[in-house]
Amino acid sequence: MDHDHSPGTLLRLRRGAHEFLRRYAATAWEHKHEGERWDLVLPPEVAKLPERKRYRAHARQEAQRLKDAALYDLDPDTTRRAIQVGAAIREHRHNDVTALAGRSDVIDTMDIQPPSLAGFLRWRDPSGISYNARGVPIVACHWGPAADQGIWIVWWADSRAVIKSYGHEIKGTWAESVVNVGTALPFFGPLWYSEQQLIWPYSVSAPKSTARGTPIRPTAPAGDTAAEPVPVDDDFVALLYTTLATWSLLADPPTGIHLQQHPPSEAEQTADRNVGLATPPITIATTVKTTH
Protein backbone atom coordinates (compact mmCIF):
# COMPACT_ATOMS: atom_id res chain seq x y z
CA MET A 1 0.00 0.00 0.00
CA ASP A 2 1.08 3.57 -0.61
CA HIS A 3 2.25 4.90 2.77
CA ASP A 4 2.55 8.46 1.49
CA HIS A 5 1.02 10.67 4.20
CA SER A 6 -0.35 13.31 1.84
CA PRO A 7 -4.16 13.81 1.86
CA GLY A 8 -4.26 12.90 -1.82
CA THR A 9 -3.30 9.33 -0.90
CA LEU A 10 -6.57 8.96 1.02
CA LEU A 11 -8.49 9.87 -2.15
CA ARG A 12 -6.50 7.35 -4.21
CA LEU A 13 -7.26 4.67 -1.66
CA ARG A 14 -10.97 5.45 -1.78
CA ARG A 15 -10.98 5.39 -5.59
CA GLY A 16 -9.25 1.99 -5.56
CA ALA A 17 -11.71 0.56 -3.03
CA HIS A 18 -14.66 2.02 -4.93
CA GLU A 19 -13.44 0.56 -8.23
CA PHE A 20 -13.05 -2.90 -6.66
CA LEU A 21 -16.58 -2.74 -5.23
CA ARG A 22 -18.10 -1.40 -8.43
CA ARG A 23 -16.35 -3.64 -10.94
CA TYR A 24 -14.87 -6.75 -9.35
CA ALA A 25 -16.19 -7.44 -5.84
CA ALA A 26 -19.33 -9.41 -6.72
CA THR A 27 -17.34 -11.75 -8.97
CA ALA A 28 -14.62 -12.20 -6.35
CA TRP A 29 -17.15 -12.92 -3.60
CA GLU A 30 -19.15 -15.36 -5.75
CA HIS A 31 -16.12 -17.32 -6.90
CA LYS A 32 -15.46 -20.68 -5.26
CA HIS A 33 -11.93 -22.01 -4.92
CA GLU A 34 -11.74 -25.64 -3.85
CA GLY A 35 -15.31 -25.36 -2.62
CA GLU A 36 -14.73 -22.25 -0.50
CA ARG A 37 -15.73 -18.63 -1.01
CA TRP A 38 -14.37 -15.33 0.31
CA ASP A 39 -14.85 -15.20 4.10
CA LEU A 40 -17.62 -12.61 4.09
CA VAL A 41 -20.29 -11.36 6.48
CA LEU A 42 -23.36 -9.71 4.93
CA PRO A 43 -25.89 -7.28 6.39
CA PRO A 44 -29.05 -9.18 7.43
CA GLU A 45 -31.26 -7.74 4.69
CA VAL A 46 -28.70 -8.68 2.01
CA ALA A 47 -28.16 -12.18 3.41
CA LYS A 48 -31.87 -12.86 2.91
CA LEU A 49 -31.63 -12.34 -0.86
CA PRO A 50 -31.30 -15.28 -3.27
CA GLU A 51 -27.67 -16.28 -3.66
CA ARG A 52 -27.50 -15.09 -7.26
CA LYS A 53 -28.47 -11.58 -6.18
CA ARG A 54 -26.90 -11.03 -2.78
CA TYR A 55 -23.28 -10.41 -3.76
CA ARG A 56 -24.12 -7.90 -6.46
CA ALA A 57 -26.57 -6.13 -4.16
CA HIS A 58 -23.95 -6.00 -1.43
CA ALA A 59 -21.29 -4.65 -3.78
CA ARG A 60 -23.67 -1.91 -5.00
CA GLN A 61 -24.54 -0.91 -1.43
CA GLU A 62 -20.90 -0.83 -0.37
CA ALA A 63 -19.92 1.27 -3.39
CA GLN A 64 -22.72 3.70 -2.51
CA ARG A 65 -21.49 3.99 1.09
CA LEU A 66 -18.05 4.94 -0.21
CA LYS A 67 -19.60 7.37 -2.66
CA ASP A 68 -21.54 9.06 0.16
CA ALA A 69 -18.65 9.03 2.61
CA ALA A 70 -17.21 11.95 4.48
CA LEU A 71 -13.42 11.62 4.52
CA TYR A 72 -11.09 11.41 7.53
CA ASP A 73 -7.34 11.01 7.88
CA LEU A 74 -5.60 10.32 11.22
CA ASP A 75 -1.88 10.97 11.54
CA PRO A 76 0.29 8.29 13.23
CA ASP A 77 0.23 9.97 16.66
CA THR A 78 -3.55 10.35 16.60
CA THR A 79 -3.85 6.74 15.44
CA ARG A 80 -1.85 5.62 18.45
CA ARG A 81 -4.03 7.82 20.68
CA ALA A 82 -7.14 6.12 19.29
CA ILE A 83 -5.64 2.69 20.06
CA GLN A 84 -4.88 3.79 23.62
CA VAL A 85 -8.38 5.22 24.16
CA GLY A 86 -9.93 2.08 22.67
CA ALA A 87 -7.91 -0.07 25.07
CA ALA A 88 -9.04 2.11 27.99
CA ILE A 89 -12.70 1.78 26.97
CA ARG A 90 -12.29 -1.98 26.78
CA GLU A 91 -10.59 -2.14 30.17
CA HIS A 92 -13.25 -0.08 31.96
CA ARG A 93 -16.43 -1.16 30.15
CA HIS A 94 -16.02 -4.57 28.58
CA ASN A 95 -16.24 -6.65 31.75
CA ASP A 96 -19.57 -5.03 32.63
CA VAL A 97 -21.24 -5.80 29.32
CA THR A 98 -19.91 -9.37 29.15
CA ALA A 99 -21.05 -10.01 32.74
CA LEU A 100 -24.49 -8.73 31.88
CA ALA A 101 -24.74 -10.80 28.70
CA GLY A 102 -23.14 -13.88 30.23
CA ARG A 103 -20.77 -14.29 27.30
CA SER A 104 -17.59 -12.69 25.96
CA ASP A 105 -18.61 -12.02 22.35
CA VAL A 106 -20.41 -8.70 22.95
CA ILE A 107 -19.32 -5.08 23.24
CA ASP A 108 -20.63 -1.90 24.82
CA THR A 109 -20.71 0.82 22.14
CA MET A 110 -21.35 3.45 24.85
CA ASP A 111 -23.82 5.10 22.49
CA ILE A 112 -20.83 6.43 20.52
CA GLN A 113 -22.02 7.53 17.09
CA PRO A 114 -19.86 7.98 14.00
CA PRO A 115 -18.92 11.57 13.10
CA SER A 116 -20.98 11.34 9.89
CA LEU A 117 -23.74 9.15 8.48
CA ALA A 118 -21.30 7.51 6.08
CA GLY A 119 -17.54 7.82 6.20
CA PHE A 120 -14.18 6.56 5.03
CA LEU A 121 -11.05 6.98 7.12
CA ARG A 122 -7.41 6.03 7.11
CA TRP A 123 -5.28 5.30 10.14
CA ARG A 124 -1.96 6.60 8.89
CA ASP A 125 0.31 4.37 10.98
CA PRO A 126 1.73 1.69 8.60
CA SER A 127 1.21 -0.87 11.38
CA GLY A 128 -2.52 -0.05 11.37
CA ILE A 129 -4.75 -0.48 14.41
CA SER A 130 -5.00 -4.27 14.46
CA TYR A 131 -4.42 -7.31 12.23
CA ASN A 132 -6.68 -9.50 10.16
CA ALA A 133 -6.69 -13.30 10.21
CA ARG A 134 -3.62 -13.39 7.94
CA GLY A 135 -1.66 -11.09 10.24
CA VAL A 136 -1.92 -8.11 7.88
CA PRO A 137 -2.44 -4.59 9.31
CA ILE A 138 -5.92 -3.03 9.26
CA VAL A 139 -5.30 0.48 7.95
CA ALA A 140 -8.68 1.92 6.93
CA CYS A 141 -12.42 1.53 7.37
CA HIS A 142 -15.71 2.74 5.97
CA TRP A 143 -19.19 2.78 7.44
CA GLY A 144 -22.77 3.67 6.62
CA PRO A 145 -26.38 2.89 7.49
CA ALA A 146 -27.70 -0.64 7.00
CA ALA A 147 -31.43 -0.51 6.23
CA ASP A 148 -32.45 0.91 9.62
CA GLN A 149 -30.76 -2.04 11.35
CA GLY A 150 -27.71 -0.18 12.60
CA ILE A 151 -24.31 0.93 11.36
CA TRP A 152 -22.43 -1.26 8.92
CA ILE A 153 -18.62 -1.13 9.30
CA VAL A 154 -15.99 -2.57 6.97
CA TRP A 155 -12.27 -2.64 7.75
CA TRP A 156 -9.70 -2.63 4.98
CA ALA A 157 -6.22 -4.18 5.11
CA ASP A 158 -3.09 -3.54 3.06
CA SER A 159 -3.69 -5.45 -0.20
CA ARG A 160 -0.01 -5.75 -1.08
CA ALA A 161 0.70 -7.44 2.27
CA VAL A 162 -2.35 -9.73 1.96
CA ILE A 163 -1.32 -10.88 -1.51
CA LYS A 164 2.24 -11.50 -0.36
CA SER A 165 0.93 -13.50 2.61
CA TYR A 166 -0.36 -16.13 0.17
CA GLY A 167 3.07 -16.58 -1.39
CA HIS A 168 4.30 -19.53 0.67
CA GLU A 169 0.96 -21.34 0.26
CA ILE A 170 0.90 -21.21 -3.53
CA LYS A 171 4.61 -21.43 -4.33
CA GLY A 172 5.16 -23.95 -7.09
CA THR A 173 1.45 -24.16 -8.01
CA TRP A 174 -0.47 -22.75 -10.97
CA ALA A 175 -1.77 -19.97 -8.70
CA GLU A 176 1.72 -18.54 -8.25
CA SER A 177 1.50 -16.87 -11.68
CA VAL A 178 -1.88 -15.32 -10.85
CA VAL A 179 -1.80 -14.45 -7.15
CA ASN A 180 1.11 -12.03 -7.05
CA VAL A 181 1.35 -8.31 -6.51
CA GLY A 182 1.88 -7.50 -10.18
CA THR A 183 -1.22 -9.30 -11.46
CA ALA A 184 -3.57 -9.19 -8.43
CA LEU A 185 -3.09 -5.62 -7.21
CA PRO A 186 -4.81 -4.00 -10.22
CA PHE A 187 -7.82 -6.24 -9.56
CA PHE A 188 -8.13 -5.90 -5.77
CA GLY A 189 -6.76 -2.37 -5.46
CA PRO A 190 -4.48 -1.01 -2.72
CA LEU A 191 -6.95 -1.93 0.04
CA TRP A 192 -8.21 -5.44 0.80
CA TYR A 193 -11.88 -5.86 1.80
CA SER A 194 -11.13 -7.59 5.08
CA GLU A 195 -13.60 -7.59 8.00
CA GLN A 196 -17.27 -6.60 8.39
CA GLN A 197 -19.55 -5.92 11.35
CA LEU A 198 -23.04 -4.56 12.07
CA ILE A 199 -23.33 -2.50 15.26
CA TRP A 200 -25.97 -0.35 16.94
CA PRO A 201 -25.97 2.18 19.78
CA TYR A 202 -25.98 0.52 23.19
CA SER A 203 -24.69 1.46 26.61
CA VAL A 204 -24.47 -0.37 29.91
CA SER A 205 -25.53 1.98 32.70
CA ALA A 206 -25.27 1.41 36.42
CA PRO A 207 -27.56 3.57 38.61
CA LYS A 208 -25.71 5.36 41.43
CA SER A 209 -27.85 3.52 43.98
CA THR A 210 -26.82 0.10 42.67
CA ALA A 211 -25.16 -1.87 45.44
CA ARG A 212 -21.84 -3.58 44.88
CA GLY A 213 -22.42 -6.99 43.35
CA THR A 214 -25.90 -6.16 42.03
CA PRO A 215 -26.17 -7.00 38.29
CA ILE A 216 -26.17 -3.86 36.16
CA ARG A 217 -29.00 -3.29 33.70
CA PRO A 218 -28.82 -2.34 30.03
CA THR A 219 -29.96 1.07 28.98
CA ALA A 220 -33.70 0.94 28.29
CA PRO A 221 -34.67 1.45 24.65
CA ALA A 222 -34.88 5.18 24.08
CA GLY A 223 -34.46 6.95 20.80
CA ASP A 224 -31.69 5.23 18.90
CA THR A 225 -30.37 3.21 21.85
CA ALA A 226 -30.93 -0.55 21.73
CA ALA A 227 -31.75 -2.80 24.66
CA GLU A 228 -29.30 -5.54 23.68
CA PRO A 229 -25.49 -5.40 23.39
CA VAL A 230 -23.80 -5.89 20.04
CA PRO A 231 -22.70 -9.50 19.37
CA VAL A 232 -19.24 -9.66 17.79
CA ASP A 233 -16.59 -12.16 16.89
CA ASP A 234 -14.06 -12.33 19.73
CA ASP A 235 -11.32 -11.38 17.26
CA PHE A 236 -13.09 -8.07 16.52
CA VAL A 237 -13.39 -6.75 20.08
CA ALA A 238 -10.21 -4.66 20.14
CA LEU A 239 -10.81 -3.55 16.54
CA LEU A 240 -14.29 -2.26 17.38
CA TYR A 241 -13.24 -0.44 20.54
CA THR A 242 -10.45 1.32 18.62
CA THR A 243 -12.92 2.31 15.90
CA LEU A 244 -15.37 3.66 18.49
CA ALA A 245 -12.52 5.59 20.12
CA THR A 246 -11.60 7.02 16.71
CA TRP A 247 -15.18 8.21 16.15
CA SER A 248 -15.20 9.79 19.60
CA LEU A 249 -11.92 11.64 18.94
CA LEU A 250 -13.25 12.96 15.64
CA ALA A 251 -16.66 14.00 17.00
CA ASP A 252 -15.32 15.67 20.15
CA PRO A 253 -11.54 16.10 19.92
CA PRO A 254 -9.84 16.27 23.32
CA THR A 255 -6.98 18.60 24.20
CA GLY A 256 -4.02 17.89 21.97
CA ILE A 257 -6.03 16.62 18.97
CA HIS A 258 -6.42 19.19 16.18
CA LEU A 259 -8.89 18.84 13.29
CA GLN A 260 -8.40 20.76 10.08
CA GLN A 261 -10.12 20.70 6.71
CA HIS A 262 -8.05 19.96 3.63
CA PRO A 263 -9.70 21.27 0.45
CA PRO A 264 -9.11 18.89 -2.48
CA SER A 265 -7.08 20.13 -5.41
CA GLU A 266 -8.50 20.50 -8.89
CA ALA A 267 -6.56 17.43 -10.00
CA GLU A 268 -7.97 15.38 -7.12
CA GLN A 269 -11.51 16.51 -7.89
CA THR A 270 -11.07 15.65 -11.57
CA ALA A 271 -9.72 12.18 -10.78
CA ASP A 272 -12.70 11.51 -8.51
CA ARG A 273 -15.22 12.98 -10.94
CA ASN A 274 -13.90 10.70 -13.70
CA VAL A 275 -15.02 7.66 -11.67
CA GLY A 276 -18.31 9.14 -10.47
CA LEU A 277 -17.19 10.33 -7.03
CA ALA A 278 -17.66 13.69 -5.38
CA THR A 279 -14.71 15.05 -3.39
CA PRO A 280 -15.61 16.55 -0.03
CA PRO A 281 -12.94 18.24 2.08
CA ILE A 282 -10.81 15.81 4.09
CA THR A 283 -10.88 16.16 7.87
CA ILE A 284 -7.32 15.63 9.03
CA ALA A 285 -6.72 14.76 12.69
CA THR A 286 -3.27 15.56 14.05
CA THR A 287 -1.76 15.44 17.50
CA VAL A 288 -0.29 18.73 18.61
CA LYS A 289 3.06 18.16 20.26
CA THR A 290 3.66 20.28 23.34
CA THR A 291 7.08 21.45 24.53
CA HIS A 292 8.01 21.95 28.16
pTM: 0.86
Mean pLDDT: which of 68-77, 144-153, 172-181, 212-221 is highest?
A: 68-77
Domain residues for the domain of 252 are 7-208+225-287
| 213 falls within a domain | no
- 232: closest CA among 155, 162, 159? 155
Residue 159 domain-assigned (yes or no): yes
Q: Please, are residues 216 and 204 in contact by the beta-carbon 8 Å criterion?
A: yes
Residue 201 within any structural domain of the chain? yes
User: Residue 57: pLDDT band by 50, 70, 90 thresholds?
Assistant: very high
Identity at 109, one-letter amino acid code? T
263 vs 111: CA distance, rounded Å: 31
Residue 128's alpha-carbon distances to 83, 140, 154, 157, 239, in angstroms, are 10, 8, 14, 8, 10
Query: Is residue 258 one of the residues assigned to a domain?
Result: yes
Domain count, the chain: 1
Average pLDDT on 98-125 reads 90
Q: Does residue 263 lie within any of the structural domains? A: yes
Chain segment 73-101, per-residue pLDDT in tens: 999 999 999 999 999 999 888 888 888 88
The Cα–Cα gap between 94 and 237 comes to 9
What distances in angstroms separate CA 284 from CA 154, 164, 256, 260, one per listed residue? 20, 30, 14, 5
Of the candidate ranges 14-18, 213-217, 223-227, the one whose mean pLDDT is the lowest: 213-217
Cα–Cα distance for residue pair 241/246, rounded to 1 Å = 9
For 220-250, what is each residue's pLDDT tens digit? 333 455 557 788 887 888 999 999 999 999 9
Instruction: Give domain status of residue 278, yes or no.
Output: yes
Q: Is residue 13 part of a domain?
A: yes
Buried b (16+ CB within 10 A) or exposed e, 165-203: beeeeeeeeeeeeebeeeebeeebbbbbbbbbbbbbbbb
Question: What's the pLDDT score for residue 246?
Answer: 97
For the ranges 51-65, 195-209, 226-240, which has the lowest average pLDDT? 195-209
Instruction: Give me the percent of the chain exceeding a pLDDT of 90.
Output: 57
Asked whether residue 218 is domain-assigned, the answer is no
